Chains A and B, each alone.
Chain A
């Protein structure tokens, strides 16, 4: 039986350069399939104000005046590559967004969905019409409106809550995490996460060949170390004090079910690998803001039911 090669990345947060790299990763690493573990959408929207004959934007701490459509296109690409959404609007619209309650959320939603649409179109072109399986999942930072959009894509598989058969392996996915200080979309207390995990894990026919794709890393494994924050969300002691912030429910599930592989994200700083019994747990981390796609290149042997090779890469 031929080993299966998987490229797993996560937490690209709207970075278009990382998405493009993700789509090219299968060819580049000769992977049989690619998986993106959640937190697909960006966190920042950059308004570009349209004036009579020119545009203005503050980007990278610098106010810029844009004179041509080519230049506008270029700056929009730069903004997208950093994981932000360029939003062209009139000064009146910008004033409205700043003042009207809910207006920013609405515009954010529009930009996120339109960006995701474009990304899925790219996927259709890049992935050879479905020749390379591409699996996507939401993360705690992704609002729920993206789910039906991904679900409707012909060449990208939306993984949340399903058991997917990948050439003899069984992938189960969950984008939900334990609570964060930011009160994001897909968060639930540990006691609610556990039954969610049970619900999907219970569907797996063979744990020897199971892959957990849970956005939250297991608690206290070194894959979940984030800078400790004070009440103002400021890293304490210069950011040198780290604390485990992963999920205990995820940890318990890995210890109990012992899948072959468990892939995670969520905590960008905590790139690493941890052996938990027979399970290889991996968090490739994320530096999407640099335009670098961190990922894990994994080779799985279905006969042996084990990960035969792995490599964390900065692509």
Chain B
């Protein structure tokens, strides 16, 4: 049998030839995944439109940096969980193992499955405002009636959401193998597009931007002196801008729960395979997620500073506030990258820039339902869901029933989202429910050393200490602080639009549904003579 010695001076261990002794996945891969998950383009700049207006004195750059620092502790906490229990299924596995089957199922079903139904129309809306609207506007296409603005209508949002759902469903069906290759090209193309925007904003002056903006706005929308008109319209609507700075801290902290819309996801694809874990694994896993998070933070800060330098801070806030109040200047979402493209007076260039930047969307949309499939399969294997939920068609390899469980509710919700402007304001519900799931994983990591002492002692995570204190549980406590703060603000501050009655009923219904499914499964299985309580009950060792 061939063997391998691992160690520095003298070998610390010997491995023999055996299946599954794979090397850890590359830091670069996990970083790419984290950059796409905390998508600065699709999620970040989209969210800025809604974040600044309710808290006009809050400072975006400071909020992004504070959020980045705070979420870094979430990265440490999740790294601890990943290297201790490196299993596909993530939160579901950790919570069922550490906190119990029922809680684990409810949190996984709500946070990784049900709430993804709402993410479908949100993603659809992002596709509409970052691809279809700017493309139609640039090409001056007038069909359907209303041209670019049609994509902001109820019908427009619904149709684009259906396209998004179909796309995500199709990508689940064809599998990750091909899509992963596409993802890599998307991140390369997306970054090139962003670099072009950076170059445009860096090498052009504010005056040339104003001039280009006015010229293209007149050309595409027939609006004269549009730059000043935007500022004037916002002022007339009662919006007061505030200069770029670092404080005050209070209103800036209130932007943090908004920043979670894009910065809370560096751990989204975090699953480590490989059985031989050493201290280096902690560093590798952490570096991938942390690097991805901070690349996003840095890109965001660069973008905002360039907005300040060239686009104009007041103008950016004004354009966003008009959109926030549903009166966007040109009838479409104020896409800053489209405005940057106007610095080059060439339609082909402008179209190419919009298309290249849409790669940020296409690089991530395929994963929309991926986590849901895994949770549905895991729940079916645990006999909580009917066996059929995990069936995959023999011929086409399509998980038909799990797709139905994802797609049909998503289509229904897309209709409600599209035709109810009130429901559209519940965007942060999509973050809140996942944050609750993260909260319980954070609790799991804090109590891990007591709940599973042997597992903890054997984990590389237990060796990572600062001043003799293990930093993983401490980071779990700090993460609980972050999520607790955000949940408190979301639930008690009206300006996030998630604490009104129907929003709370909508979210509560998801938890009720998960609890009902779990209890029904236990009752039905018990009648069949199957005790689901045995699933995670530990066999005694002695």
Instruction: Using CB atoms and an 8 Å cutoff, list the residues of chain A in contact with chain B.
Output: 13, 17, 20-21, 24-25, 28-29, 39, 43-47, 49, 58, 60-63, 78, 81-82, 84, 91, 94-95, 97-98, 104-105, 108-109, 140-141, 143, 180, 182-185, 220, 222, 227-229, 232-243, 266, 268-269, 271-273, 275, 287, 289-293, 297, 299, 308-309, 311-315
- Residue interface mask B1-33, A partner, CB < 8 A = 1: 111010100111111111111111110011011
Can you name 8 extra interface pairs (CB under 8 A) apart from A236-B29, A239-B29? A43-B20, A58-B13, A182-B20, A220-B397, A240-B33, A272-B390, A309-B528, A311-B534
Are B19 and A184 neighbours in the complex by a CB distance under 8 Å? Answer: yes
| Binary interface encoding of chain B residues 401-434 relative to chain A, with 1 for a CB under 8 A from any of its CBs, else 0 | 0000000000000000000000000000000000
- Chain A residue with the shortest CB-CB distance to B8: A58
Q: Choose among A182, A238, A287 the residue that contacts B17 (Cβ–Cβ < 8 A).
A: A182
Cβ-defined partner of B16 (8 Å) among A24, A43, A62, A268 = A43
Q: Contacts A44-B14, A290-B85, A311-B534; is A243 near B459 (CB within 8 Å)?
A: no
Interface residues in B457-471 by Cβ distance below 8 A to A read 457-460, 462-463
- Nearest Cβ on chain A to B112's Cβ, whole angstroms: 15
B381 within 8 A of A: yes
Give chain B residues whose Cβ lies under 8 Å from the Cβ of A312: 381-383, 535
B139 at the binding interface (Cβ < 8 Å): no
Indicate if the CB atoms of A238 and B13 lie closer than 8 Å.
no
Q: Does B87 contact A (CB under 8 A)?
A: yes
Q: How far is the CB of B229 from chain A (nearest CB, A)?
A: 47
- Cβ–Cβ contact A45 & B460, under 8 A: no
B273 within 8 A of A: yes
Most buried by A among B397, B528, B541: B541
- A241 and B3 contact, CB distance less than 8 A: no
A–B complex contacts, Cβ < 8 Å, 20 sampled: A13-B18, A46-B12, A47-B12, A62-B463, A105-B2, A108-B3, A182-B17, A182-B19, A185-B1, A235-B25, A237-B176, A238-B25, A238-B30, A239-B25, A239-B271, A240-B176, A240-B271, A241-B176, A309-B530, A313-B534
Could you tell me if B542 and A180 are in contact, using CB atoms closer than 8 angstroms?
no
Known A-B contacts A184-B18, A309-B530, A315-B537; the reply to A239 vs B457 at CB < 8 A is no
Q: Choose from A61, A109, A233, A287 the contact partner of B280 (Cβ within 8 Å).
A: A61
A60's partner among B387, B390, B458 (CB-CB below 8 A) is B458
The reply to whether A227 and B13 form a contact with Cβ atoms under 8 Å apart is: no
B29 touching A238 by the CB < 8 A rule? yes
For residue B455, which residues in chain A have a CB less than 8 angstroms away from its CB? 290-291
Whether A98 and B539, one on each chain, are in contact in the complex, defined by CB atoms closer than 8 angstroms, is no
Q: What B residues does A273 contact at CB under 8 A?
A: 381, 387, 390
A269 proximity list for chain B (CB < 8 A): 88, 273
Residue of A at shortest CB range from B279? A61
A242 touching B176, Cβ below 8 Å: yes
- Let me know if B276 is at the binding interface, CB within 8 A: yes
B278 with A61: CB separation less than 8 A: yes
Our pick among B15, B273, B382, B457 for the contact of A44 (Cβ within 8 Å) is: B15
Q: Is the CB of B481 closer than 8 A to any CB of chain A? A: no
Chain B interface size range: 35 or more
Check A98–B459 contact: CB distance below 8 A: no
| Interface pair B534/A29, CB less than 8 Å apart | yes
Complex CA gap A314/B541 in Å reads 13
User: Could you tell me the distance between the alpha carbons of A140 and B97 in the complex, rounded to whole angstroms?
Assistant: 29
Across-interface contacts of B539 in A (CB, < 8 A): 21, 24-25, 28-29, 293, 315
When distances are taken between beta carbons in the complex, the residues of chain B under 8 Å from A61 are 278-280, 460, 463
In contact, A104 and B3 (Cβ under 8 angstroms): yes
Instruction: Digitize B431-463: 1 where CB-to-A-CB distance is under 8 Å, 0 elsewhere.
Output: 000000000000000000000001101111011
CB distance A45 to B14 under 8 Å?
A: yes
Question: Which residue of chain B has the shortest Cβ distance to A233 in the bound complex?
Answer: B22
Closest residue of chain B to A311 (Cβ to Cβ) is: B530
Q: Which residues of B contact A241 (CB under 8 A)?
A: 176-177, 180
- The minimal Cβ–Cβ distance linking B278 to chain A, given in whole angstroms, is 5
User: Is B183 part of the binding interface, using a Cβ–Cβ cutoff of 8 Å?
Assistant: yes
Whether B177 contacts A84 by the Cβ 8 Å rule is: no
In the bound complex, do residue A271 and residue B381 qualify as a contact, i.e. CB atoms below 8 Å apart?
yes
Residue among B16, B269, B276, B459 making CB contact with A45, cutoff 8 Å:
B16
**Interface positions of B (Cβ within 8 A of A):** 1-3, 5, 7, 10-26, 29-30, 32-33, 85, 87-88, 96-97, 175-177, 180-181, 183-184, 269, 271-280, 288, 370, 377, 381-383, 387, 390-392, 397, 454-455, 457-460, 462-463, 528-532, 534-542
3 closest residue pairs by CB, A with B: A61-B279, A58-B12, A237-B180
Tell me the bound Cα distance from A54 to B205 in angstroms: 72
Residues of A within 8 A of B460 (CB): 60-61
In the complex formed, the residue of B with least CB distance to A222 is B392
**Contacts A46-B13, A47-B13, A98-B5; is A60 near B459 (CB within 8 Å)?**
yes
A105 and B3: CB pair below 8 A? yes
Point out the residues of chain A lying under 8 angstroms from B32, CB to CB: 238
- Asked whether, in the complex, the Cβ of A82 is within 8 Å of the Cβ of B530, the reply is no
Contact of A313 with B13 in the complex, beta carbons under 8 Å: no
Q: B10 touching A91 by the CB < 8 A rule?
A: yes
Q: Complex Cα distance A63/B8, Å?
A: 12
Contact of B458 among A78, A242, A313 (CB under 8 A): A78
**B537 and A313 within 8 A (CB):** yes
User: With A and B bound together, what is the CA distance between A29 and B97 in angstroms?
Assistant: 19
Report whether A289 and B387 are in contact in the complex, using a CB–CB cutoff of 8 Å: no
What residue in chain B is nearest A280 (Cβ atoms)? B387
B14/A108 in contact, CB under 8 A: yes
State in angstroms the CA–CA spacing of A290 and B85 once bound together: 7
Q: What residue of chain A has the Cβ atom nearest to residue B26's Cβ?
A: A234
Which of B14, B20, B377, B383 is close to A268, meaning CB atoms less than 8 Å apart? B20
Q: Report the minimal beta-carbon distance from B521 to chain A, rounded to whole angstroms.
A: 12
Closest to B462 in A: A60
Contacts of B382 in A (CB 8 A): 312
Residue B279 contacts which of A24, A62, A234, A308 (CB distance < 8 angstroms)?
A: A62
**Interchain nearest-CB distance for B276 vs A (Å):** 7
A165–B502 alpha-carbon span in the complex (Å): 62
**What's the least CB distance linking B99 to chain A, in Å?**
14
CB distance from A270 to the nearest CB of B (A): 10
Q: List chain B residues, Cβ under 8 A from A309.
A: 528-530
Once the chains bind, are A20 and B463 in contact (CB under 8 Å)? no
Which A residues are in CB contact (< 8 Å) with B10? Answer: 47, 49, 91, 94-95, 98
Q: Is the CB of A237 within 8 A of B537?
A: no
B180 nearest CB neighbor, chain A only? A237
Write out the residue numbers on chain A whose beta carbons fall within 8 Å of the beta carbon of B531: 311
Q: Let me know if B1 and A108 touch, CB within 8 A.
A: yes
Q: Which residues of the partner chain A approach B529 to less than 8 Å between Cβ atoms?
A: 299, 308-309
From B16, B184, B275, B279, residue with most partner A Cβ within 10 Å:
B16
Residues of chain A within 8 A (CB-CB) of B23 are 232-235
Q: Do B15 and A43 have beta carbons less than 8 Å apart?
A: yes
Quote the shortest CB–CB distance from B504 to chain A (angstroms): 35
Decide: B16 and A108 in contact? CB cutoff 8 A.
Answer: yes
